[in-house]
Amino acid sequence: MVVVGGAAAYAMLRPGLGLARKAARAYVPLQPWSLPSEPPASPVELARALIGAAVLAPSDWNAQPWRFEVENSSIRLVADPQRALPANDPDRRGMMVSLGAALENLLVAARAWGLQPTVTYFPFEGAGGVVAEVAWTGGEAHRDRGLFAAIPERRTNRREYDHRGLLPEHRAQLGAQVAEGPRLHWVDEPRALRELADLARDAVHTQVMDRRTGAEQYAWTRFDDQARRRGDGVPVDALELGGVTRWFAGRCLDPNSWLVRFGAASAAGQARDGIRSAGAAVLVTAPKRDEAQWLMAGQAYERFALKATQLGLAHQPVNAPIEVERFRGDLLRRFGARGEEPLMLLRLGRAKRCPHTPRRAVALVASFRTT
Ligand SMILES: Cc1cc2nc3c(=O)[nH]c(=O)nc-3n(C[C@H](O)[C@H](O)[C@H](O)COP(=O)(O)O)c2cc1C
């Protein structure tokens, strides 16, 4: 009692300190991982619910590089440059893929709620950062219900998988999610997976040891309850790092610490063991270098991830061999995809489920203008 009372009195006598502490502990509102099964009746609430589905999408380092502008029956999806990753993603392909994934969630929800959405890519020729505009009409049959149900269940799973291969029918169903434009290339032979695992290990090691890319990754890694407080970034536990890094992650992932060599070794080991334990790996490519293609590849990736979730399959993107340019050629060769643009490298398999990562609430990312 004395200790509690004493602490409270101290905080009251030092208001400045009390306020600073309070600000440091402040939590942003988080988006719940649930969606209504029927669409809300009011147009504003419907737009809010569609955006609520969009923000549950995956994004590079959970940076959530999106904003949404609602005007009557349309939603503009806008890239947020404050949330770009200039060191790891200098040409913004990862950002476009993330935006594409958010767009796809929005479209899946619209179809599941019986709406007929139409998309205009890069209206205003991309001015104002607008990457897509979605409008809709009502009165359609309910479609995509299975993918819709998977939106709150999907998550990136970095745990070890159980080495079992994929069933041919699962592979066919996953392949069917990818329409014209983006392409899928598979590797599932154990020896080819082992070689790919070594490539991923080397690329991840390079990224963590590099001062710029390592520092950026560190800035988006969240320790203690930071992820819940800020509603973004990747909680360090979700990274599934082993060795001493498990205990001293704050130091081992800090590019200014000499311990970073241990962090790099753990992250590289996670990537290698992750791919070795997978049933298959998939490379998503676009036929050419073009932002609209990257956005569409993000849509394809999200449909793929939702279908995998529906089939009970775990997945994890392992994009370091795409992001570190000198590994790209080797990666494309291993998938027989020379001359194409690599966008997502994924491993797939069966694993124990893992928790969700936080999302900033719709109120923080959407603006509404209704007439
Ligand atoms: C373009 C892109 C690249 C990504 N690259 C990686 C990666 O290299 N390694 C990894 O573990 N996760 C990667 N992810 C997964 C994100 O870290 C993940 O989506 C984010 O932390 C949110 O978590 P969730 O997918 O569980 O909702 C990537 C996601 C996207 C969209």
Residue nearest to atom 21 of ligand 1 (CA): 62
Assign residue 241 a region: left if phi > 0, alpha if psi is -120 to 50, beta otherwise? beta
Q: Examine residue 32 and state whether it is found in any structural domain, yes or no.
A: no
Amino acid at 293: Q
233 lines ligand 1 (CB under 6 A): no
Return the best residue to mutate from 30, 33, 61, 97 for the ligand 1 pocket (most ligand atoms within 8 A of CB).
61
Q: Examine residue 19 and state whether it is found in any structural domain, yes or no.
A: no
| Together in a domain, 87 and 150 | yes
| Together in a domain, 226 and 199 | yes
Residue 353 pLDDT: 96
58 lines ligand 1 (CB under 6 A): yes
| Together in a domain, 56 and 183 | no
Angle at 216 between CA 212 and CA 222, to 5 degrees: 150
Helix (H, G, I), strand (E, B) or coil at 140: coil
| Together in a domain, 118 and 231 | no
| Together in a domain, 254 and 335 | yes
Q: Examine residue 11 and state whether it is found in any structural domain, yes or no.
A: no
Residue 65: partners with Cβ closer than 8 Å, 6 or more residues away: 59, 79, 80, 81, 83, 84, 95, 98, 99
317 lines ligand 1 (CB under 6 A): yes
Which numbered atom of ligand 1 lies nearest the CA of 155? 26
Q: Are 153 and 348 contacting, i.e. CB atoms less than 8 angstroms apart?
A: no
Residue 263 pLDDT: 96
Residue 208 pLDDT: 97
Which numbered atom of ligand 1 lies nearest the CA of 204? 8
Which numbered atom of ligand 1 lies nearest the CA of 93? 1
User: Which tokens hold the place of 254?
Assistant: 């800090």
Q: Examine residue 38 and state whether it is found in any structural domain, yes or no.
A: no
Assign residue 83 a region: left if phi > 0, alpha if psi is -120 to 50, beta otherwise? alpha
Pick the closest to residue 194 from 269, 265, 273, 282 (CA basis). Answer: 273
Q: How far apart are alpha carbons 22 and 31 in whole angstroms?
A: 22
CATH of the domain at 62: 3.40.109.10
| Together in a domain, 122 and 179 | no
Quickly list DSSP for 225-266. THHHHHS-SEEGGGG---GGGGTSHHHHT-TTSTTHHHHHHH
158 lines ligand 1 (CB under 6 A): yes
Task: Catalogue the E-assigned strands of 297-371.
Answer: 314-317, 341-349, 366-369
Q: Examine residue 59 and state whether it is found in any structural domain, yes or no.
A: yes
Q: How far apart are alpha carbons 191 and 200 in whole angstroms?
A: 14
Quickly list DSSP for 288-315. S--HHHHHHHHHHHHHHHHHHHHTT-EE
| Together in a domain, 222 and 280 | yes
| Together in a domain, 228 and 269 | yes
| Together in a domain, 225 and 80 | no
Residue nearest to atom 20 of ligand 1 (CA): 62
Angle at 247 between CA 216 and CA 275, to 5 degrees: 65
User: Which tokens hold the place of 188?
Assistant: 């599932």
Domain assignment of residue 268, given as a range: 168-349
Instruction: Considering only CA atoms, give the Rg of the chain.
Output: 21
C-alpha 156, offset from chain centre: 8
Q: How far apart are alpha carbons 131 and 103 in whole angstroms?
A: 10
31 lines ligand 1 (CB under 6 A): no
Q: Examine residue 314 and state whether it is found in any structural domain, yes or no.
A: yes
Helix (H, G, I), strand (E, B) or coil at 317: strand
Render each residue's pLDDT in the chain as its tens digit; 371 residues: 333 333 333 344 444 555 555 555 689 999 999 999 999 999 999 999 999 999 999 999 999 999 999 998 899 999 999 999 999 999 999 999 999 999 999 999 999 999 999 999 999 887 889 999 999 998 779 999 999 999 999 999 999 999 999 999 999 999 999 978 899 999 999 999 999 999 999 999 999 999 999 999 999 999 999 999 999 999 999 999 988 888 899 999 999 999 999 999 999 999 999 999 999 999 999 988 999 999 999 999 999 999 999 999 999 999 999 999 999 999 999 999 999 999 999 999 999 999 999 999 999 999 998 76
Residue 72 pLDDT: 87
98 lines ligand 1 (CB under 6 A): yes
Computed from CA positions of residues 295, 367, 37, 114, in that sequence, does the dihedral angle turn out positive or negative? negative
Residue where the block lists tokens 């099964």: 37
Residue nearest to atom 13 of ligand 1 (CA): 317
Q: Examine residue 24 and state whether it is found in any structural domain, yes or no.
A: no
| Together in a domain, 290 and 309 | yes
Q: How many domains does the chain have?
A: 2
207 lines ligand 1 (CB under 6 A): no
Q: Examine residue 22 and state whether it is found in any structural domain, yes or no.
A: no
155 lines ligand 1 (CB under 6 A): yes
Q: How far apart are alpha carbons 63 and 154 in whole angstroms?
A: 17
| Together in a domain, 120 and 251 | no
Residue 4 pLDDT: 35
Q: Is the pTM of this model over 0.85?
A: yes
Distance 47 CA to ligand 1 centre (A): 26
| Together in a domain, 134 and 52 | yes
Residue where the block lists tokens 């809010």: 48
Distance 348 CA to ligand 1 centre (A): 14
Residue 370 pLDDT: 72
Computed from CA positions of residues 46, 51, 54, 56, in that sequence, does the dihedral angle turn out positive or negative? negative
Return the best residue to mutate from 30, 56, 59 for the ligand 1 pocket (most ligand atoms within 8 A of CB).
59
Amino acid at 57: A
Q: Are 350 and 279 contacting, i.e. CB atoms less than 8 angstroms apart?
A: yes
